[in-house]
């Protein structure tokens, strides 16, 4: 992995984010703030881009969200001085799962992610602001996101940065070291961590993804340059198995001869 030009990336992203928000007819943005690195970087970029007066941070805790994460989310928003909301999603999620008491952690986690996004879009309407995404390039390529949950947004300023690159950028825009160094988690259930679910550390994954995506190495080449076979197969398998998440919803086009009855004289 190469080091990014931090100052250049910061300047480009803040300018482009402002331009894209305005191009869509808006001046403001709203971000879900979890207390983690990605959302901290996204909300900070938004504030730098359109100003803190045009930035809204939303904290959406569930009972399983640790006190530390909650404190970090509050601290991020307080440090930026932006308008914020705090809404507990537990009543809505728990009420739904009264219908499915045996639902597993994955279903519950996906429901929580979609509940959060539903609220973000409602607040975006209230605040006349666009929803700004917080997903990174690593998560996107691994399919490590919830469709129409944390994967939903109008504009994503960090979606072209790998997780390790987001961490590099964070140090340049004033994100506290505590946030940069903390263990990544989606906060979907107690004890959940990203790297625990993925099975590998982000720096390992990002290095492999860089060789696959940017350098376009074949499987043979990946093995030749020293990546372990199981690691390669695990990651490429995950990419393949989650491809459906990266395909836009399809509108089936109806041929003219099928759609309309043609009468000939």
Alpha helix positions (H), 51-162? 67-80, 90-96, 105-127, 137-142
Residue 154: Cβ within 10 Å count: 17
Reference 31, options 49, 58, 53; nearest CA is: 58
How much is the pLDDT for 187? Answer: 66
pLDDT level of residue 193 (50, 70, 90 thresholds):
confident
Instruction: Compute the distance between CA of residue 145 and CA of residue 139 in angstroms, rounded to an integer.
Output: 6
106 CA to centre of own chain: 17
Tell whether the model's pLDDT for residue 1 goes beyond 60.
yes
Exposed e or buried b for every residue in 20-53, given b needs 16+ CB within 10 A?
bbeeeebebbbbbbbbbbbbbbbbbbbbbbbeee
Tell whether the model's pLDDT for residue 258 goes beyond 60.
yes
Pick the CATH number of 6-197 from 3.50.50.60, 3.40.50.620, 3.40.50.800, 3.10.20.30: 3.40.50.620
Residues 6+ apart with CB under 8 A from 67: none
How much is the pLDDT for 260? Answer: 86
Residue 184: Cβ within 10 Å count: 20
Cα R_g (the chain), whole angstroms:
20
Q: Where are the beta strands (DSSP E) in the chain?
A: 29-32, 55-59, 83-86, 130-131
Point out which residues pair with 132 in neighbouring strands: 155
Task: Give SS3 for 193.
Answer: coil
Tell whether the model's pLDDT for residue 262 goes beyond 80.
no
Tens of pLDDT, residue by residue over 144-156, are: 999 999 999 999 9
Identify the DSSP state of 83.
Answer: E
Tens of pLDDT, residue by residue over 84-106, are: 999 999 999 999 999 999 999 99
pTM: 0.93
* Virtual torsion, Cα 187, 193, 198, 203, nearest 10 deg: 120
């Amino acid at each position: 992995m190469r080091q990014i030009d931090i100052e250049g990336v910061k300047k480009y992203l803040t300018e482009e984010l402002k331009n894209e928000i305005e191009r869509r007819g808006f001046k403001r943005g709203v971000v879900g703030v979890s207390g983690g690195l990605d959302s901290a970087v996204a909300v900070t970029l938004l504030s730098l881009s359109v100003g803190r007066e045009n930035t809204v941070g939303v904290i959406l805790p569930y009972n399983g969200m640790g006190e530390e994460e909650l404190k970090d989310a509050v601290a991020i928003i307080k440090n930026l001085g932006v308008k914020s909301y705090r809404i507990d999603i537990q009543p809505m999620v728990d009420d739904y799962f009264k219908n499915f008491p045996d639902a597993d952690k994955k279903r519950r986690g996906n429901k929580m992610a979609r509940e959060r996004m539903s609220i973000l879009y409602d607040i975006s309407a209230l605040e006349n602001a666009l929803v700004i995404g917080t997903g990174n390039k690593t998560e996107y390529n691994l399919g490590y996101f919830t469709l129409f949950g944390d994967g939903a947004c109008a504009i994503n300023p960090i979606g072209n940065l790998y997780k390790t690159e987001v961490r590099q950028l964070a140090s340049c825009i004033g994100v506290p070291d505590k946030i940069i160094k903390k263990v990544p988690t989606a906060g979907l259930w107690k004890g959940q961590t990203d790297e625990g679910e993925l099975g590998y550390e982000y720096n390992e994954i990002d290095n492999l993804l860089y060789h696959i995506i940017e350098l376009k190495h074949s499987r043979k080449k990946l093995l030749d340059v020293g990546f372990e076979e199981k690691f390669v197969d695990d990651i490429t398998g995950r990419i393949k198995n989650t491809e459906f998440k990266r395909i836009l919803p399809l509108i089936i086009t109806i041929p003219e001869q099928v759609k309309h009855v043609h009468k000939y004289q």
